[in-house]
Each structure stands twice: as structure tokens, then as C-alpha cells.
Structure 1
Amino acid sequence: MTTPRISYAHLLVRPNPKHVRSLVRFFEEGCSKRGTGGFGVEIEHLPVHNADDTAVTYFEPAGVEELLRRLRPYYDPAKEYWQDDHLVGLGREGIGISLEPGGQVEASIGILRKPEDLLGIYRRFRGEADPIMEDLGFRLIEYGYQPKTSFEDIPVNPKLRYAAMTEYLGRIGQFGPCMMRASASTQVSIDYVDETDAIAKMRLGTAIGPILAWFFRNTPYFEGVENPWPLCRQRMWDYLDVQRTNVTPGLYDERFGWEDYAADVLGTPLMFADLTHTPEAVGRPSRELEFAAFYQTAGDVYPDRELNEYEVNHVLSTHFNDVRLKNFIEMRHWDSLPVERAERLTQIVADLFYDPAKRTALESYFSGLKGEDVHAAKAVLQADGADARPYGKPLDHWRELLALDDVRADVPGDPLHPAVFQR
């Protein structure tokens, strides 16, 4: 008797070709002229009460919403963002102020032409915000995680998508609610000139990101006690949801390109769907416009047509790889940092990615790297801390190679910090 051949073809997720084209066109439109060299910097801040360092929430009477309302006169009325009757974002030339799920206040700054331009824009923001917060009885601090308050005690802000994210991430992985409500990061974005340049920068950023994360680590606390992990942010994201985090699958395959990235994103469940800008969904109840998507991919949710820009941005924003591709390249490895440290990080990124000689030398150094090598480097940093040898080299080697002699990790960024933790 002949054993029948079993086909598993029906299990394959085949992204809609029109959706793939939409993402690839979006990447193409992000190409910059050679030599532009722009930066974007995002610093997320944790709001804490001056009296006891506990978290300030969005809804409390003298909380985050009140801060945004008092900041309104300094910002462009055309760039305000509201959810129902709640103010959730502000903007003006050079800076946008938005909220993460737990009321973390994010300052998105750019496009910068020189890393040092960060300081002027950021200090203007703080010069306006700090007196308001002093009156309200709280301040913004730059740590990777809330110092005293547990994620369980922090409600999400009123964006509908965060309720859907809570439903999804509350059931998937290990750290979703912690990440959403109590963590904060620094992210640096760079441009690219074409597909080859974009993929090369993604590979390089993915390789060096964990090493830079070690030298710029800034998470002294986790859930009210001393942080137990050498790299807390990496630990949370790597165990968040394997479908959408960590090293981009296939990135180090020489054939990898924009279509492969698009197929990976489109073939993954959306986490939460957003049909608020989908014309075909007009008239549906609000609960049908933003909802948790445990199984539905973009092909299940969006019509059989090319996606509009809002839909493309939403689909890409549901992926959280260490280095994320949009119409720019976003490196996401790093804890929230005081602005002086964020500026230094941006200077290092500029040297490594925009100095042709330094970039060529580093790419040659990592020639032949595989995705498994990056996973191993990340694992050894978590396992061995200061004694780690990522890519087989001690941390002193990387300090010298990446010109990090002046960089100190765990530098106190706020008066509540009791000590410089060394691992």
C-alpha cells in the first residue's frame, strides 16, 4: 500500500501581492538623497510624583492629561491629537509629543542634521514642561522602567488601540503589560538611499545594537526592586511575542530584500487591527474599527487593494524587531536616557553609519555574520553581563572598536537613583 503524500501548502500564509507592493512602494518613497544623513531621536519619559516617586497616570486630576492641556499654547493647534474628548498628543515644527500606553511622555525630535541639534530642541521642550509639572507635583525621569510602581497599578491611556493591545499582549508572551505600562526607551532613526543601503544598515544596526545597549543601559529598577537582568529592555522584548520581535527573520540571508521584510510583516497576525482610516469600514461601530487580532493578518482585515499610507504605517507599527524598517530605519534597543547621553548615542550612530570609512570597516568586520550569531551575542550578554564576550570578544574590545571610552553605563539620571549598579 502506498503511503499518501501529505501536503501542507494550505498552512502557508501568502500575503496579498497588492499589500506587498504597498509596503515596498512605501520603502521606496523613503529613499533619501545620498549624503542627506538625517536623524530622528525619540526619548520616552516616565512621569513620577515628586513626593514618593510613584507613577503619575493619565487620568489623575493633576496628571499627564493636565500636563498636555497646559502645554497646548506652545504647540501648533493643527497638530493636536485627541481621542474622544481626551488630548493625547501635540506637535510643532521639529518635535512631536505623544503618549505611550502607560502615560509615558514621548518627545519625538527630528529631522536633525547634526546630533548636537538635539539639545536645543529638547531643552526648549523641557523649559516649557518642567515649570508646569513643578506646579502639578510631578516630574519626568529617564529610566528604562518605572522605579516603584508595578505595571498592574498603571492604567492605559484612552487610545482605543491600547485596550486592544492589552487584550492581545496580556495573553501572548511574558512581558507585554510590563512593556506597555511601565517601560521607556530611547530610539534613534537614520535614513537610507536605496534598498541595498537599507538592508546593509539594518544588518549592521541589528549586530551592534545589543553591544551599545550594554554601554548605555539605564534600568536600575524593575517592578519596585533592583533590576535582575543585565539588559532589562532586551529581556522584555525578546520574550514579548516571538512573531514580531528580536532579529528580523532572514535578515542575514544575502537574498533578503524589501519584499521579504514586507512578506514577514504581512504574514504575522496584526496584534490589533485598525480600520479607522479604511474607507470600506465607514459606518461600522467603533468596536469594529480597532480590535485585538490574534489570528488575522493584514490580508484578513484589509480589502483586496493597495493599502493607503495610514494602513501601511499601522501594519509596520505592529512589528517590533530590534531594527525596524519604515520609510526610515529605526533602532529600538536602548533604555530611556537623559538627553546628554542620548546625544552621545546619536553621535556614535552618526559615526558608524554616516562616516563611509568607519561604516565600511565595521561591515567588513561583521562579514559573514548570521542571524544565529546575533542571537548568541544577545544571549551571552544576558547570561554573563560584564564578563560577556559577544561575538567572541570581551567588552573592552568593543569599547575600543566603537570608540566608547567616554561612555559610562548606569549613570544616575535622577535624584532617586541610589547607586550606580555594576554587573
Structure 2
Amino acid sequence: MHNDFPYYHLDRAVNPRHVQSLVEFYEAGCKPRDQYGTGVEIEHLPVREGTDEAVTYAEPHGIREVLEELAELYDASKEYRDGDALLGLGRGKIAVSLEPGGQIECSLGVLEQPDELNDLYAQFRADIDPILARHGIRLVTYGYTPVTSARDITIIPKTRYAAMNEYLGRVGSYGWNMMRCSASTQVSFDFSSEADAIEKMRMAVAVGPLLGYFFRNTPYFEGRENELPLLRQHMWEGIGSGRAGTNPGLFDAHYGFEQAAIDALATPLMVADTTHSPDAARQGVWTAPFENAADVYPDRALNEYEITHIISTHFTDVRLKNFIEMRHWDSLPLDRARILTDLVVKLFTNEEELARISGYFEGVRALDVNAAKLDLQAHGEDARPYGQSLDFWREFLHAESTGADIPGDAAHPDVFQK
């Protein structure tokens, strides 16, 4: 690990052993290009048939009962529980988990062939849909639940989410809305080296607002028509800089794994978790609005559970793990999620495509990205992000080999029009 970048108040903010642990975690993600894979996560909003009211975890015919029945079709060794509460299932490349408001997330990966997305998702729906029907539930792929208000949704019985609920209930304007009512689509891909990872992150952050606009899918907010083109962005960025939005320092010339690690470690944890840290001074899970990793974890190398927890307390548009995760999008129905996934794979794992967008965005700054976001939010279809019309960006970002057009208006999930 090089040391030519100054640690921020190293004696108080970050622990060098922790920094090294994260750097090694990132480095372990480097893969040969012929071993690249893709991950896709689609979150679903469960609503009651006939009313579209949100369905919560513990209510009669609620999400708990759905999971308990679904568990019979999944691998018992991959069940996730918090105490007695069943909160997650797994089988092969399919993982089913719950977001704080009871949103049902289907994680699919690592995908080696594009058709795997369709096949695996079809299996997930074939398993869960009959169970949902018996309980009078359907799954909605919107960015925000259509009818129910955030204050009327009870979070699931997960210790981490109780602590997160306390934190986000006091920070920003939309913490509870994001936790309880929102749903997203996320796409992940691999990198071959540190330089490759940073270049892909920069380009993903640069084009992210454009793709976020083209694949927006939130017609409702708190039971009313949603007026913001990028509502998801607006809600997340309301929880505070450094934890969400554009990655701090990403476009600086010296940015690399070490700087990414410092940023993750220096930020207050929001939620501390030492359930896998037997030598920690304090045990358990608690709200941590001021404590960062150096305050919570011992002076030693971090284990993988600790590393993944620390990273999970950041919600930047593009998140660095031992792969790269793009987080810009509202929940999408499968056909649109497939278009998006094919496009992301083309842009960020094809060397020629990555070189093309890198050449165009040479010299871009975080300020430019934030200006593009604000332009799209304020002006919608009349916006000129980075000085170009949206028609220009549709053509620029369209990869012909995907065989599909980027939708130009997604105010309703069934509307694909330019």
C-alpha cells in the first residue's frame, strides 16, 4: 500500500490496519476479463390485491407468512434469521431478502450469460407468485409504493434496521421514506485492476444521472403523483453528503483503493455491528451517528463481515465492493431490467465502449455530475446535461448490440416512448 496520500487526521479518524483490510478486500475483486460476471438485484413492493396498500411483515397474510411458505422450496442451510424472524432465503444463484419496509428483494448472480437473468427471475416468480396469490398480495415494480404513507409502514424485525430507523428518522427529510417505501434495481459488474475499477467508477458516476433519468419509474410518492424525475436521487442525497450521491474525491487524480478505503472508514457508521467481533469493547448492534470504524473495531485487521458491514453503511450512486455496484435506478419490471443490464454490461465491460465514453468524459468533475443531476431534476426532457440534449445522450449511450432502445419516458412502467 502506497503512502503518498495523506490520511485525514489519521490518529483520530482511521486505523491503518483497517485501511489495509479494505484495500486488500478491493484487490481481491480483480478478475481476468474472461471471468467477469454480472449481478442484478430487483426490489419489489408487496401490495394488497384490490387496494394497493402496502403489505407489512407481521400482519395477517403478510410477508412473514409468504417467506415461511417459500422456505419449503429453498435451501434450509441458506436461511437468514434475526432471532426467530425469518428474513432471507437462498438457493443456487437466487437470494431472497427483505428491505426495511418489507420490500422483497430478488438478487440474481453471478450471471455469466445474459439469458440467465430471465431464467432465474422466471424461477423466482414461479415459486413466489402462487404463494402471494394465496395471501392476496401482488408485487409492484415501482420506485415508491403507490398508496401507503411511510409513517404507516412498520419496519421488519431486524436489529440493524431498528438502529438504522432511529438514525434516518433524525437525519435529512426522507430517511423513513427511503427505508420503508422505496424500491430499486441495482446492477453489479467486475474489474480487472485498481486502475480499471476507478475508471469504471468514474464513468458510472458520470453517466449514472442520464441512465437514472432514462430508466426512471416512480409515478407516485406518498399516494400522490410524483413530480420529480429523479426522486430516488433526491431522497438519498437528503441523508447527508459523503454517505450518498457522488463518491467524495473520485475524480481527483490520486484517487484509488486507498482513498476509497479511507472515505468508507472515516465516515460515521450510522449503525455499528460487532456481532462478529468477539474482541470488540462493546458488543451488539446500535445506532452510531458519530462513531466510525476506528471507534468501534479493535486495532487489528478487519474480518470480512466487518468490512462488508462498513461498506453497507454507504449508499453512494456507485459503490465499490470487491465488484462495482451501480445504484441509480428505481425498481423495474423484468423486461426493462434486462434492457438496462445489457446496456450496463456493454458500456462497462466492453473495452472499446469504455474507452469511448472515457474519451468523451475526459476532464469531467464531480461538480459537472452534480450540475447534470440538478439540470435533469429541474428541467426533465428539456434538460441539457453536460451541455447536450437528451436525444444526443440517447444516441450516445445506446449500444446497438443490446438490440433494444433506451426508453425515453418511464413515468409509467408500461410506457416506452421517445
TM-score range, shorter chain: over 0.9
- Output the amino acid matched with 2:43: E
1:39/1:110 contact within 8 Å kept: yes
Q: Tell me the equivalent position of 2:335.
A: 340
Q: Tell me the equivalent position of 1:4.
A: none
> Structure 1 unaligned runs (5+)?
1-8, 415-419
- Residue 406 of structure 1 and its aligned partner are, at CA, apart by 2.1
- Residue 32 of structure 1 and its aligned partner are, at CA, apart by 1.2
TM-score by length of 1: 0.93
Q: Where do residues 251-330 of structure 1 align in structure 2 (5 Å cutoff)? A: 251-281=250-280, 288-330=283-325
Distance 2:109 2:311 in 1: 20
- Residue 11 of structure 1 and its aligned partner are, at CA, apart by 10
- Output the amino acid matched with 2:165: T
The secondary structure found in structure 2 opposite 1:35 is helix
User: For residues 70 and 413 of structure 1, do their structure 2 counterparts lie closer, same or farther at Cα, with a shift above 3 Å needed?
Assistant: farther
User: For residues 238 and 383 of structure 1, do their structure 2 counterparts lie closer, same or farther at Cα, with a shift above 3 Å needed?
Assistant: same
2:219/2:412 contact within 8 Å kept: no
RMSD of aligned residue pairs (Cα, Å): 1.8
The secondary structure found in structure 2 opposite 1:65 is helix
Q: Does 1:355 align with 2:350?
A: yes
Q: Tell me the equivalent position of 2:5.
A: none
- Output the amino acid matched with 2:152: D
Distance 1:17 1:320 in 2: 23
2:163/2:271 contact within 8 Å kept: yes
Q: Tell me the equivalent position of 1:6.
A: none
Q: Tell me the equivalent position of 2:169.
A: 170
1:13/1:267 contact within 8 Å kept: no
Q: Tell me the equivalent position of 1:410.
A: 410
- Residue 258 of structure 1 and its aligned partner are, at CA, apart by 0.5
Q: Tell me the equivalent position of 2:388.
A: 393
Q: Tell me the equivalent position of 1:35.
A: 34
Q: Tell me the equivalent position of 1:247.
A: 246
Distance 2:145 2:308 in 1: 29
Q: Tell me the equivalent position of 1:232.
A: 231
1:134-184 deviations in Å (ceiling 9; x for gaps): 110011110000000001000110110111001111111111110000000
Q: Which moved more, 1:400-409 or 1:69-78?
A: 400-409
Q: Where do residues 105-184 of structure 1 align in structure 2 (5 Å cutoff)? A: 105-184=104-183
The secondary structure found in structure 1 opposite 2:33 is coil
- Output the amino acid matched with 1:72: A
User: For residues 322 and 12 of structure 1, do their structure 2 counterparts lie closer, same or farther at Cα, with a shift above 3 Å needed?
Assistant: farther
1:102/1:154 contact within 8 Å kept: yes
How many residue pairs are counted as aligned between the two chains? 406
Distance 2:18 2:330 in 1: 33
- Residue 60 of structure 1 and its aligned partner are, at CA, apart by 0.7
Distance 1:355 1:11 in 2: 39
Percent identity at matched positions? 55
TM-score by length of 2: 0.94
- Residue 64 of structure 1 and its aligned partner are, at CA, apart by 0.6
The secondary structure found in structure 2 opposite 1:279 is coil
Distance 2:147 2:13 in 1: 45
Distance 2:165 2:260 in 1: 26
1:281/1:289 contact within 8 Å kept: no
Distance 1:298 1:370 in 2: 29
Q: Tell me the equivalent position of 1:100.
A: 99
The secondary structure found in structure 2 opposite 1:347 is helix
1:29-61 deviations in Å (ceiling 9; x for gaps): 111122323100000000000020000000012
- Residue 13 of structure 1 and its aligned partner are, at CA, apart by 4.5
Q: Which moved more, 1:308-317 or 1:348-357?
A: 348-357
Distance 1:274 1:222 in 2: 32
Distance 1:397 1:35 in 2: 32
Distance 2:108 2:10 in 1: 43
The secondary structure found in structure 1 opposite 2:144 is coil
2:219/2:411 contact within 8 Å kept: no
Distance 2:210 2:115 in 1: 23
- Output the amino acid matched with 1:29: A
Distance 1:367 1:85 in 2: 52
Q: Tell me the equivalent position of 1:417.
A: none
User: For residues 116 and 151 of structure 1, do their structure 2 counterparts lie closer, same or farther at Cα, with a shift above 3 Å needed?
Assistant: same
- Output the amino acid matched with 1:371: A
Distance 1:84 1:235 in 2: 34
